[in-house]
Amino acid sequence: MVVKEYLTYNQIHKLCQEAAPRILRDFRPQLIIAIGGGGYVPARILRSFLKQPGSPNIPIQAIGLSLYEELYTSANGTSCSVTSPSTTSGNLAPTIIERPGTVVTRTQWLDLNSLGDMQNLVGKRILIVDEVDDTRTTLQYAVQELEKDLETARQKLGGKGDPTVLSIFVLHNKQKQKKGCLPQGMLNDNRYMAARNVEDIWICYPWEATDIDEHDRLANQQQQKAKEGSKLITAGT
């Protein structure tokens, strides 16, 4: 049975608020890059907490990377690609589920119209934001591609200037064997941060919900059960 955990916008907001002091202390980002679509909301919330008096808001750029593949699951349990839902059997409407794919697809990249030029990012401190570090494949791709583009821009400047420093923030890091990897220097320098380390569970974020009232009801129900379980443990000690 798949374990699902439902999170509310309020919980996401508090996770970002809790993480902001360390991000300011250790990362001091000059630009936020949100990986779409899960990184958009936490990136925007973070920006409010990272705003310093007398300083402008940290700009946010978005990149779109897709790793998950949609599948249709019919009533009898058979699955097919989202591109061919007609192969499901039976008259009942199929359920759409997602599973990790194997290839990262770039759907959107940095907006150079607003940045002016990639060279403007050379030597900057950049924070990459996503909602979850699952297999780490998407994060690896994002870091590698950004580093490649930034090094090309630095070479156009004659190889001058300080290196660009990339950091990562995710709401949740799933504690599982990763398929992707991050630069060892990033990990050694503590430039990777997860608000929470969690088991390999199915996390349901509020921006994915089509019925937010039902989503919040399930989230509140889970929270109430957790509180009751905590009371039972306390009473038994």
Q: What are the pLDDT digits (tens) for 167-208?
A: 999 999 999 999 999 999 999 999 999 999 999 999 999 999
**CATH code, 42:** 3.40.50.2020
Q: Is residue 36 part of a domain?
A: yes
Residue 93 lies in a domain: no
pTM over 0.95: no
Residue 230's domain comprises 4-64+107-236
171 within a domain of the structure (yes/no): yes
Residue 38 lies in a domain: yes
- CA-wise closest residue to 133 among 98, 180, 166, 167: 180
140 occurs within a structural domain: yes
Active site residues: 134
Number of domains in the chain: 1
Residue 231 domain-assigned? Answer: yes
Contacts (Cβ under 8 Å, ≥6 apart) of 82: 69, 70, 71, 72, 96
Q: Are 130 and 35 in contact (CB under 8 A)?
A: yes
User: pLDDT per residue over 17-67, tens digit each?
Assistant: 999 999 999 999 999 999 998 999 999 999 999 999 999 999 999 999 887
